[in-house]
Structure formats: C-alpha cells, structure tokens
Amino acid sequence: MSDRWPDVVVAIGAQHLWQSAVLLLLALLVFRLRRPSARARPWMWLCVFLLAAVSPLAVLLPGDASTAGAMTSASLATTAPTAHATTGASVVAREALPTRAMLAALQPVALLAWALGTLWGIGRLCTGWYRARRLRDTARSSPYLERLVRSELPANAMVRVSAGIRSPMVVGLAHPCILVPRALVAELSEAALRDVLRHEIAHVLRGDMGWSLVQHLLAAVYWWNPFLRLIGSRLDLAREMACDAFAATRAGEGRHYANSLLRSAEQALLLPDPLVLASGIFAGRAGLRQRIEGLLEMDRHVSPRGKPALLLFGLMLASSVTLTLAATPRMGTPNDAEDSLRMADARLLVEAAGEGRIDEVQALLRRSVDIDAVVPGDGTALIAAAKAGDLPMITLLLRKGADVDRPARGDGNPLIVAAMAGHHEAVALLLSFGASVDAIVPGDETALINAARGGHLQSVKSLVAYGADVNLGVRAEFGQWRSPLNQARGRKVRDYLIAHGAVLGNG
C-alpha cells in the first residue's frame, strides 16, 4: 500500500475504536428497548461484532481528496495573519508542533505493539486448536451417550468421553466432536446427560465453531480494543443462552434444564479458562445467573418482542452504517493525501506571491514546493505576482525557475494577466525573460487583445515592440471574432494599432 501504509493502519485503528464504542452503546440501547428472542440474539450480536470489525475499513473506500485538502488549507489559513508579521511562521508552524512530532515518533512503536499482540493472539488460537485436536484424538467413543441422543445427533457429529476436561464442549469444524467429561458421565443422571448433549448439539446445528473461529481471529487482530471484547463477551453469552433455549425446549421446561445446567456447572467452575477453540456448555461464571434467569422466564411465558426488536435492530444497523460512512475520513487512493498536502502548499505559495510576502515564498520554495503548481481559480504563483504587478516578486520567481509561460485554464498566463491589468512594467519584465508574446491560452485571448481591451496603451506598445502580431485574433465561444483592433478601447490605442498595420477583419 505504498509508503503510506502505516498511516492507513493507524487510521483504521483510530476509527475502529470509536465505531465499536458507538455500536456497543446502540446495541445495548436497542436490546433494552426491545428484547429479542434467545434464538435471534446471538445472530444480532454477531452482526454487531462483524460490523465493528469491518467498519474502519471504510477509510480505504475511494474518496475525494478535495475535502481533506480544503480542511488542511483552512487550518493553515488561520495562521496567515501571523505569517504576515513573522515572515513565514505559518509555513513552518505545522512542522513545529510538538504533538505532531511526538505522534509521528510513537507511530512505529504502536504499530509494532499491534503486530506483536496480533501474533500472540493468533498463537493462542493455534495452541487451542492443537489442544482441542489432542483431546478429540485421545477421547473414547461412547455408545451409551450416542444412544441417549441418537435421533437428535447430526450425521457428521460424534460423542466421546474425555478424562482431560471438566466441562462438556464441541471441538472440530467439518466433523464436530462432542466431548463429555468422564466425571460427569458418572455423576449426572441420564436425563441431565441428555440435556447436556442437547446443548452441545445446538452448537453443532448453529455452526458456532466456525463463527467462534472468525470471532477469535478478529479479536486477535483488534486485541487492544476493550469495546470489541465487550461485544464479544455478550456474543458468547447470547450464543450459550440460545443453546440453553434449544435444550430446554426439548426437555419440556426451563426449570428442568436449569437444574441440569447447575449440576454440570459445579464441575465446569473448577476450570480456570475454557479452551479457545471449543464451544462449551459453560464459558464463564458471570453469565450463569443470566442464563438461569432466561430459562426461568421460559416457564413464566415471558415472550420477547421478536419482530419489533428485529425492526429496531435493523434501523440501528442502518444508522450505524450511515454514521460510519459520513464520519470516517477516506484515505482514498494512495496519492490522495499527498496530493491534498501538495495542493495546500501550492495555495500558500500562490497566496504569498500575490500578496508580496517574499520571505514566506522563499521559505516555501526551500521546502521544495512546486513553483509552477496551478491552483484552480488563482493560477500559479507567477500569475498571482503578475496580476499584482509586483516586480520584485516576479523577478524572484523567474530567477528561481518559474515557467514564464505556464498557463492556467481560466487564469491565462503571467503575460496575459499583467497586460490585462495594465502593468506595463511587469509586461516588459516578463518579455525580457522570454515570455511568448503571442501565446494563446485555451479559454482566453492573446496578451495584446487583453491590453487593447483594457485601453492600456503602454502595455500595447511594449507588446508590439516585442513583435506581437497586431492582427492575431481568436474565435470566441459563440463564433465571434476577436482581434486587438476590434476589441481596442480608446482612440489612442486604436490609432496606435492601425499605425502598426492592424486591420479590421472577421478572421
């Protein structure tokens, strides 16, 4: 991504932080206003999680750099009055800010920390995958447990007993394996074991292992973001509650399944941390109370507001996407930001040249600002100086290598604007530096036509003395022929042109 990739990565991180915070707050508000069903809740939290992860990538969308350029120009323009008095202070103020320098110095450190943290998180995932695979390979098949859920067990799934775990869990993606602790098989009743297996079957049917892998990969990338971790923890809890509801429905009542959950939790609580790549019946102490309360609500027939919750959630997602697209700055193509900065510097140069601030112009040129850069609506620095008739500025720019004939559509060229304004000394100076006396800029006329139209006799004389063609004309937009003579204003100008061979004609 060219040499700007560190800036792009930092921009993604900064956007991700506020976007995930906004998404978390909006989701909590929506779920408080309209409680969705246990089945829908994990998918809604998954949408929030994925949107929080991909939203910052909006900085990579194509964008117009003019907005960033305008913002840069506006911020720099606020220092212009000071620059007038301090000879170029506005040029170097941007580079002298200690905060900017400090952030630039910290950027490599932050990127290195981000990369190391991501590698560590991915390493944990690999370790979890390896441990899960060893558990599956060392577990023993259990015809007894498979018989308990024979009609409910998916065709690609199996049930095994493991001595290396204390909490039931599912491992594997293509061929999921339900692992049940050997201690639970000995301690729980047949009905309780069936409840436990149904919970794990729900994980298999929902495809939770695949989504959990995606979740943990994204969490490893954004390991430093507390808001994404909070969204992930709520997603984990919602996923477990959805499987609880699945198992409780088949058990007949929530209270019956809640008892089975509590009995299995007595063993699961002894486990310090669940496996990274495993979906288990119990994934933490904090959510157990909410899960029990959710099961008891099933018996009280507390119905969630399904359709209103989904509609409100959809509105929240649409609002969040709109806010993200509106508030996220676009890095655009790799050169957009650089072009914006170059245009901001060019605007400073043209403005300083037009206002005669020689010291500031010299400072900008020392920073290698393009002396011939064209600013739409203002032209080049030399055009601005010629328009003002500033002889010292014109001389400085020409000696610094400015193109004496550099045109700008809509703004003519230096000789044209000097002739138009009647600055005959500037006209003579530009001609002495080799300006093309008969140059025609698209959308404009010759310098002689402009001088004659303005009635500037001295400028007309200078141009004719340097060989300007007194009969060279142009065809205007609507077919009108314009020449120095038919555009001349004032008897003295017309007489002078006629005396030097000008004739009326239609081109």
Residue-wise pLDDT tens digits, 233-288: 999 989 988 888 888 888 776 677 777 677 776 655 554 444 445 555 555 555 66
pLDDT of residue 257: 73
Contact 449, 459 (CB under 8 A): no
**Each residue's pLDDT tens digit, 182-224:** 888 888 888 888 888 999 999 999 999 999 999 999 999 999 9
What is the C-alpha to C-alpha distance for residues 54 and 12, in angstroms, rounded to an integer? Answer: 10
Q: What percent of the chain has pLDDT over 90?
A: 39
Q: Is the pLDDT of residue 45 over 90?
A: yes
Which of 10-14, 38-42, 203-207, 387-391 shows the lowest mean pLDDT across its residues? Answer: 10-14
How many C-beta atoms lie closer than 10 Å to residue 379's C-beta? 28
**Each residue's pLDDT tens digit, 51-89:** 999 998 888 777 544 444 433 333 333 333 333 333 333
Structure tokens given for 385 = 């100086």
Check residues 169 and 291 and name the one with the higher pLDDT: 169
Q: Whose CA is closest to 207, among 173, 156, 168?
A: 173
Q: Is the pLDDT of residue 335 over 60?
A: no
What is the C-alpha to C-alpha distance for residues 308 and 34, in angstroms, rounded to an integer? Answer: 7
Contact 415, 430 (CB under 8 A): yes
How far is CA 221 from its chain centroid?
A: 17
pLDDT averaged over the chain? Answer: 81
User: Quick one: pLDDT band at residue 98, thresholds 50, 70, 90?
Assistant: very low
Instruction: Compute the radius of gyration of the chain from its Cα atoms.
Output: 38
Instruction: Over range 87-104, report the average pLDDT.
Output: 43
Question: Which 3-state string (H, E, C) describes 13-34?
Answer: HHHHHHHHHHHHHHHHHHHHHC
What is the C-alpha to C-alpha distance for residues 207 and 174, in angstroms, rounded to an integer? Answer: 10
Highest mean pLDDT among 367-371, 372-376, 392-396: 392-396
pLDDT of residue 300: 59
Instruction: Over range 139-143, report the average pLDDT.
Output: 92
Q: Is the pLDDT of residue 18 over 50?
A: yes
pTM for this model (two decimals): 0.59
Ordered by where they begin, the domains of the chain are 2-56+109-327 (no CATH), 371-499 (1.25.40.20)
Instruction: Over range 297-314, report the average pLDDT.
Output: 69
User: Quick one: pLDDT band at residue 460, thresholds 50, 70, 90?
Assistant: very high
Check residues 480 and 44 and name the one with the higher pLDDT: 44
